[in-house]
Structure 1
Amino acid sequence: MTVDTIAGLLDQSALSRPHQPMILDTAGAALTVSEVAKLAKAGARWLAEAGVRPGVTVAWQLPSQSSAAVLMLALARMPVVQAPVLHLYRRREVRAALDAAGAQVLIVDRSTADNAPTDVPTIRLPDEFLGLLGGQPDLAVPDDTHSGHDVRWTYFTSGTTGHPKGVRHTDATLLAAARGYTTHLGLGDHPAEVGTIAFPIAHIGGILYVACALIGSFPVLMVPKIDAQLPRVLAANRVTLSGSSTAFYQLLLDAQLASGRDEPIIPSLRMLIGGGAPCPPELHREVRRRMGVPIVHAYGMTEAPTICVSQATDTEEQQVNSCGRPIPGAQIRTAATGEIELRGASVTPGYVDTEQWTNTTTPDGWFRTGDRGRLRPDGRIEITGRIKDLILRKGENISPDEVENELLAHPLIDAVAVVGQPDAQRGEMVCAVVRRSSRHRDITLDELCAFLDERGLMKQKWPERLVIVDEFPLTGLGKVAKSQLVEQLSGGTR
């Protein structure tokens, strides 16, 4: 029988394969499925004794470590709503998240304690939290009787300005997303499969990947920090599946190129997987050519963590130019404006603020994503950009994604963001922001435009300004924070 709660899935897995590794860390420690289940039960008792009462909303802010995964699963056993907060947030962002969720309790550790507002009851985890839980007697805990359709999770839409939206989820919506993701990608099909959580575990992808690991019967490596050591860490742990965002793929590709080696620097790797912003076709091709693995991109968002997923059996053209097919239970349509609309088993039941939800749904109940795209004849979905990111130049709609994808084919460009800037004559002008590379010289605007001319891009879409930067401002998931970038380019004014 298919279980409909995350706690039930963990318990079922602990009974059927108790000794299988589930959570790994970069120091070499491993927790089996039965150990994780036992720690989660002990964690639920510990949290109740620490003051977490039934019916409250509990926010937590922890880095991507094994203790965070266990805490998340402990709260999933309790009659509470949990609201994970990205560990990169500081006090102002944490305050906004707590307000959006209506959280009554905040859980932190040593690394995030300074971010806690003084007026919210706060529980600080001991430094040796897992050791403490492991030393507790194996006592019975109340049966987990909640329905998979009860709202038990609140996540937050990403962004660098404005107030976050609290996005509600149930175990059922999250498990529908995880089952579709696991099935389409064939996660666990490799006999020595090892995945990663190499992004903030407080992102909705955190519980998604934990659920995928249970469904696909494979362990996941917790990677709390992304830096130059990442390729070595992935290789040392024989990781077969990894990924998160375009910036993540680019980091690995840069390391492969810097190594000067023809053979892959991560020989165990069989697939890079991610979602969020569309992945540029040129990066797809370069990763496949240089690293010998495909980027199997997916399409999801906080409101629907899995919508479409590519498959390992898709052709290279399908993987490069689409984000795959809708998972079972997901329905997609496009409006006359090209905006993608959704409904289905993995879609949120709504925002914490019901008025916000009403404003983003159609009269017949479909969720308006804000993304533009099209349904291809082969059933795959192609994402063409964000509705709000369109640049309006002399009445012409210009897609930044289209220009970015062309520019990434230039040998002097490793990473680029195209944004609109206010202009008295044009309405908006097209600005290309190129990240400086350590491997080659800076490109010039004339060279950039000549290249686009050769590629056949209409002149109206050519950038009229070029800015070279050392780094892009990034969101917590490694995507370029374009609104913040525009502010920087305009000297802090908009």
Structure 2
Amino acid sequence: MSEPIYDARSFWDLLCRRVAATPDTRMLIDDSGRSLTFAEFRDQSERVAAGLQDLGVGEGTPVTWILPTRIETVLLSFALSRLGAVQNPIIHIYRRREVEFCIRQTEAELVVHPGAWSGFDYGGMVDEIVAGLDYEVRTLAGYDTLPEGDPATLPPVSDLTGAEAVRWLYYTSGTTSDPKGVKHTDGSLIAGGIGLARALDMSEDDVGSIAFPYAHIGGPDYMVTMLAAGFGAILVERFDPAAAVLAYALHGVTMAGGSTAFYQMFLEEDRKARESTGRPAMPALRVLSGGGAPKPPEIYFRVKEQMGVPVAHGYGMTECPMISQGSPGDSDNQLAYTDGRPVHGCEVSIVAVAPDGGEAPAPAGVQGEVRVRGPMLFSGYTDPTLDKGAFDARGRFRTGDLGVLGTDGHLTLTGRVKDIIIRKGENISAKEIEDVLYAHHKVGSVAVIGLTDRKRGERVCAVIETAPHSDDLTFEEMVETCLAAGLARQKVPEQLEI
């Protein structure tokens, strides 16, 4: 078994070193049965890079791509890395307003799209956007066919290609009306992926899965983990729980996940399988892992009891793709009630902010704003005016999240700085109440919000989606649930919306 690769300088360097170590290991498998080994993937990526070079793409060329999770998408991304182009991946849920903003701000010279896909004409949307620009932009339909050329025509690879230079531009929603462009290097994305790889302790014997959009920053994050540890993964283009679980069982997937919603869907498919066959839906599974949304403790315990595997949940954001991550070896309480330890190389600080604006480090167990620093942190925003308020005097990024660091070093998120409900002068964490209500069997999902109230300043309102095949939760049941869980009376929601 080869040693993990933790010191690569660029994506292309990491791929080539993985090929040298385990060339014949399957790297990618799609849900139609196609597959590529690490060596086959490297070779095909070079042919695509040569084809892109023939279209005028080279080092520093800005390229926007909006594609689903397919082998071609990953090939395109690595071909662009081979050339040193600047990639702007866009998740396929976005439409004209966001896509046009990204193309204009990045000054993309090539836009790659899937054509008509999943009931929407991406090609038509891109053509309309490009027609309104005041400079020439090439477009390319790259769903199932990519340009290819002779790899012998490619320039030599620099050891530092993309390691320090900005090579990735991701856009995220935030407090501004327009999407915020986030600048990353190969080095920053690799640092995040290595943090994930170390935490999950994956090996060449594992089989992973990518059921989320590869255009999400979690795409390259997970790919680094695969290349560092040497395992392959199944790509799921359109996620259908039943079909995905069958494919995972067929190929022996050992790690699945994506987000809390995925955990819930896997629980349901596993329940069906056990009822009909007496066996688990995914026999080789050893861990669920994901992030991107809060994980109620109840979900962890349901998965552990029914499926017999832990949920190793993580915390990150576009600006810092990996901040903390649960590990399979953590205790049940750590995995259920925290968001894991800070990943390798990430410095996490909890800062208490006083009413007068003064700041001080928060001791263990005390809530404050989560601030981060480390090699996985982004290089700044494409709009430099946004940088000033994003970092503190020590260069730490202000995440806007509230959290607590325990004496064991694990981080627990408690809410958002702007999501605190202030009722009669008392700060109330919406997440604390959400976790309590989510444990009720009638609750499918829940959001707790603050509504303007003349007497209280804000009143607490619970918005609940009823669980499938269940009656609606009554107001009295909600109050009883909160009090039984030990919530202070002032935290109990005064309004319930179903």
Does the TM-score normalized on the shorter chain lie above 0.5? yes
Shift of 1:34: 1.1
CA contact (8 A) 2:31 2:234 kept: yes
**Alpha-carbon spacing, 1:127–1:410, altered in 2? closer, same or farther (3 Å):** closer
CA distance in 2, matches of 1:203, 1:431: 32
CA distance in 2, matches of 1:233, 1:388: 41
1:211 to 197, 203, 224: 224
Aligned to 1:424: 454
CA distance in 2, matches of 1:122, 1:258: 48
Which one-letter code corresponds to 2:261 in the other structure?
A: A
CA distance in 2, matches of 1:122, 1:461: 56
**Alpha-carbon spacing, 1:100–1:431, altered in 2? closer, same or farther (3 Å):** farther
| 1:107 matched to 2:117 | no
Aligned to 1:389: 419
1:251 to 230, 242, 265: 265
CA contact (8 A) 2:67 2:143 kept: no
**Alpha-carbon spacing, 1:160–1:66, altered in 2? closer, same or farther (3 Å):** farther
Aligned to 1:489: none
| 1:157 matched to 2:172 | yes
CA distance in 2, matches of 1:259, 1:34: 36
RMSD over aligned Cα atoms: 2.0
CA distance in 2, matches of 1:180, 1:355: 30
2:213 aligned counterpart, secondary structure: coil
**Alpha-carbon spacing, 1:105–1:124, altered in 2? closer, same or farther (3 Å):** closer
**Alpha-carbon spacing, 1:281–1:304, altered in 2? closer, same or farther (3 Å):** same
Shift of 1:298: 1.2
Aligned to 1:485: none
**Consecutive aligned runs of 4 or more in structure 1 exceeding 4 Å deviation:** none
2:304 to 288, 311, 315: 288
Match runs of 1:263-282 below 5 Å: 263-282=279-298
| 1:9 matched to 2:14 | yes
CA contact (8 A) 1:91 1:114 kept: no
2:152 aligned counterpart, secondary structure: coil
Q: How many residues align?
A: 463
Aligned to 1:340: 370
Which one-letter code corresponds to 2:418 in the other structure?
A: K
Aligned to 2:363: none
TM-score when scaled to structure 1?
A: 0.89
CA contact (8 A) 1:330 1:342 kept: yes
| 1:212-266 CA distance string (max 9 Å, x none) | 1111111111112223323233223321111111111112223334556364222
CA contact (8 A) 1:83 1:154 kept: yes
Query: In terms of mean alpha carbon deviation, does 166-175 or 260-269 score higher?
Result: 260-269
Gaps of 5+ in 2: 354-367
Aligned to 2:52: 47
Which one-letter code corresponds to 2:226 in the other structure?
A: A
Aligned to 2:342: 326
CA distance in 2, matches of 1:423, 1:297: 36
CA contact (8 A) 2:369 2:399 kept: yes
Shift of 1:420: 2.2
**Alpha-carbon spacing, 1:427–1:95, altered in 2? closer, same or farther (3 Å):** farther
CA distance in 2, matches of 1:266, 1:334: 39
1:310 to 326, 344, 347: 326
Which one-letter code corresponds to 1:345 in the other structure?
A: P
CA contact (8 A) 2:109 2:138 kept: no
CA distance in 1, matches of 2:138, 2:463: 41
1:187 to 202, 210, 228: 202
| 1:283-304 CA distance string (max 9 Å, x none) | 1111111111111011111111
CA distance in 2, matches of 1:390, 1:424: 18
| 1:115-137 CA distance string (max 9 Å, x none) | 3113352422355415x64xx55
1:235 to 246, 249, 256: 249
Aligned to 1:177: 192
| 1:444 matched to 2:449 | no
| 1:144-194 CA distance string (max 9 Å, x none) | 2125111111112245972111111111111111112111111126x2x11
Shift of 1:423: 3.0
CA distance in 1, matches of 2:280, 2:382: 46
CA contact (8 A) 1:100 1:165 kept: no
2:103 to 98, 101, 104: 98
